[in-house]
A and B are shown apart, each in its own frame.
Chain A
Amino acid sequence: MDLTLSPAEQAFEAEVRAFIGEHLPADIREKVRLDRFLDRDDFMRWQQILGRQGWFTGAWPREHGGQAWSAMQTIIFNRVAGEMHCPELQVFGPAMVGPVLYTFGTEAQKAKHLPAIRDSSVWWCQGYSEPGAGSDLASLKTQADDHGDHFVVNGQKIWTSYAHFADWMFCLVRTGREGRKQEGISFLLIDMKTPGVNVQPIRMLDGRHYLNAVFFDDVKVPRENLIGEAGRGWTYAKFLLEHERVENANLRFITQELQKLRRVAGEVRSGGRRLIDDPAFAAEVAGVEVQFKALEIGLLRMLSDMHAGAPAGPGKSSFIKIRGTEIAQRITELLVQAAGPDGQRYQPGPLLGANGDALVGPEHALGPVPSYQFCRAMTIYGGSTEVQKNIMAKHALGL
């Protein structure tokens, strides 16, 4: 057994570090470092830089224009990206709809959509949840009526991340009402500029516009935008979940925030004593760091098993999602504690970068509360912790 990176992996890590150092725009890096909210252009500029290097879709197979990164390379990339203040990558294209497209799409669909995902010229969003279909996603009601060469879509999606930035949506719709509720679901690609698509913002606690409700009113979707067979959308959606394992670990975010926590706890003083020297706080920092270590090693063990040809084991991706989000949330909580009373100031100007408002108070105190508020969603989206535990109880434990 051996924990060390291979020479090739070490070289890759050095290459990633050098590339980010040279190409990450300073203004974007500073926004990330200082907890400013990013806008569409910030995300897209960085993703397009990565796209030109082939790294936005590094994990894709070569035949589809990827770099065939191993899961280890994805882990390395995310860790370094976290250390060096890179923005979170929008995974809807590269890690979600992309693999579905190159696995189940037609040649025409692949030719149309894959290049624009690779170079990040198109922003994708995910249309899954509905007001009546959250954890019970298969109860979705958005209706797509088959009109031969096209579908007509009516209904509503909700909690759609960045729908207001998106050019395209991959969407689960109901095309049949017979059999099990999972059986009448189809996977459609919808151009967000189509008449009848209406995006309404949902404001977050911190004032940010991130989530949306998306309404469909007689939206005409060409049949060529149907992925695979009608009625098999649930299968494709489940396939997609399998691709989220490494992303589920939140490595970039946790790496970035732990680094911040160590830095802030070393700066903040209480009556002359650094916060990090307070044994009670130090115990919390150590506690969350070692839990992250256990998650990292758990992920590596899973990859090593898969590499050796053993199945990952039922429930592993749920396990990683549960712990990756709990640990991330715990760090945001400790950052709020570290910022202390300074963290109470709500400063939308600096946060949103909307105007030239000067920052009041220390730099590190701007972001923790918004980040803490925002990250409570982590254990809710993508299958809540409770749903993940149901999945594990059933599939891993046979309960």
Chain B
Amino acid sequence: MDLQYTPEQTQLRESVERFVREAYDFAHRRRLAASELGHDEGCWRQYADFGWLAIPFSEEEGGIGGDATDTGIVMEGVGRGLLLEPYLASVVLGGGMLSALGSAAQKAEWLQPMMGGERKLALAYAEPGSRYEATHCESAARSDGNAYVIDGTKTLVYGGPTADQFVVVARTAGAAGDRDGLSAFVVDAGTAGVALTPYATHDGQRAADLVLDGVRVDAARRLGEEGAAGEALERVIDQGIAALAAEAVGAMAVLVDSTLEYLKTRQQFGRPIGTNQALQHRMVDMYIALDEARSMALYGALMLREGDAAARRKALSATKIEIDRTAKRVGQEAVQMHGAMGVTEELAVGHYFTRLSMIATTFGDSDWHVERYMSA
């Protein structure tokens, strides 16, 4: 057992934290969230220069050969700064699917440009009727000569408005809910028949719904064997859970720090409010919750290595359940202890709270994960 960061990881942590501190202050982030694009292209190119976009990919794929604990370091920084660039969407989700299923030629064409910062990817899997069941896919891809014709609707495609390519999951066989029969295709943004509805989410990020109406894609754009994308999709979503967990830890850490600072400085009745035992004990509970979240984020990242898919799914569900519990505790308490300022647009605290609240309904909420956990 060894739960220490390596010297390289410590270095990565420091550089991520430095970037967030120096290049991504809250005023900057606020302007970006209100802008048309919703993120900073300059920052995205910097992430590429730092090598962050290549972390989880093997050296053969042109990546750095890191693992989920490394991605977690970046994601913790994403949480600390509430970074708006689509790291999760493009690297973990879109990139994850290409890495899991793509051929060397497909990776060269779509994954490597993403690592270089020239292109962005997004994963289109969720549908109006699927809620959290990734395999509940009704979109269909019909084989037609040397091509496929895709019809269907995709929702909450994170990073969708700025993606150059979508990895679209569609059914080539079977019925909604089957793990078999799912296939994944790379579809360029702007392909005829793709209608995109972009929007902001409550946390200032960008996503889109897609309607695919007779979208014709070359068979060379199918990733992996026909009908065999289900396992990879579930694994990539589990990777997404580990990444979200790390992001939540970063956001919670900021809330714990700022709430503690506030308790020490905010004066009422002639003394700091942190002298009240009722608040001290609740602050301790937040501090404990953050430490528990950190443990579970690490656990989730390490359990992605688990070869037994059932054990991996159980562990990532455990992670998500604990992250949701601790994030709710920390988020709600931070707002409460900041008083009315906590619910204003002006103060950062409320924005962290909002992001944590959106994480709770991403990739399965606690109820959904309890069911998956208990059935494993």
Q: Which residues of A contact B (CB under 8 A)?
A: 1-6, 9, 72, 276, 279, 282-283, 285-287, 289-291, 293-295, 297-298, 300-301, 303-305, 308, 319, 322-323, 386, 389-390, 392-393, 396-399
Contact = CB atoms under 8 A, between A and B. Distances in A.
A2 B6 CA distance: 11
B321 to A, nearest CB: 5
A282 B299 contact: no
Contacts of A308: 4
Interface residues of B, number: 39
A285 B318 CA distance: 12
B284 A293 contact: no
A389 B374 contact: no
B245 to A, nearest CB: 11
Contacts of B298: 1, 297, 301
Given A5-B1, A304-B2, A399-B274, A298 B370 contact: no
A322 B263 CA distance: 22
B295 A283 contact: no
Contacts of A285: 374
Contact of B1 (A72, A282, A291, A399): A72
A42 to B, nearest CB: 34
Interface in B159-176: none
Nearest to B282: A389
B238 interface: no
A279 B318 contact: no
B238 to A, nearest CB: 15
Contacts of B4: 1, 304-305, 308
A361 B329 CA distance: 41
A6 B285 CA distance: 33
Nearest to B286: A397
Nearest to B293: A294
Contacts of B373: 286, 289-290
B3 A399 contact: no
A82 B288 CA distance: 25
A297 B299 contact: yes
Interface in B30-88: 69
Contacts of A5: 1
Contacts of B374: 276, 282, 285-286
Given A3-B299, A295-B292, 7 more contacts: A2-B1, A2-B302, A287-B325, A304-B4, A397-B260, A397-B280, A397-B283
A276 B371 CA distance: 11
Contacts of B285: 389
A263 to B, nearest CB: 15
B138 interface: no
B306 to A, nearest CB: 10
B308 interface: no
B291 interface: yes
A293 B287 contact: no
A346 to B, nearest CB: 32
Contacts of A386: 281
B1 A290 contact: no
**Interface secondary structure of B, over-half rule:** helix
A323 to B, nearest CB: 7
B333 interface: no
B277 A390 contact: yes
A276 B374 CA distance: 9
Nearest to B373: A286
B322 interface: yes
Nearest to B320: A290
29 contacts: A1-B3, A2-B2, A3-B1, A5-B1, A72-B1, A279-B371, A283-B370, A285-B374, A286-B374, A287-B370, A290-B318, A290-B322, A293-B296, A294-B292, A294-B296, A297-B298, A297-B299, A298-B295, A300-B3, A304-B2, A305-B3, A305-B4, A308-B4, A319-B288, A322-B288, A393-B277, A397-B284, A398-B260, A399-B264
B367 interface: yes
Interface in B318-352: 318, 321-322, 325
Nearest to B318: A290
A298 B291 contact: yes
Contact of B322 (A3, A282, A293, A300): A293
Contacts of A399: 260, 263-264, 274-275, 280, 283
Nearest to A392: B284
Contacts of A282: 370-371, 374
Contacts of A289: 318, 373
Interface in B252-310: 260, 263-264, 274-275, 277, 280-281, 283-285, 287-288, 291-296, 298-299, 302-303
Contacts of A305: 3-4
Contacts of A294: 292-293, 295-296, 299, 322
A295 B289 CA distance: 11
B301 to A, nearest CB: 8
Contact of B280 (A72, A287, A301, A389): A389
A304 B367 CA distance: 33
Contact of B296 (A276, A297, A303, A397): A297
A221 B222 CA distance: 85
Contacts of B263: 399
B296 A1 contact: no
A291 B260 contact: no
A300 to B, nearest CB: 6
B299 to A, nearest CB: 5
Contacts of A322: 288
A279 B288 CA distance: 28
Contacts of B291: 298, 319
Contacts of A390: 277, 280
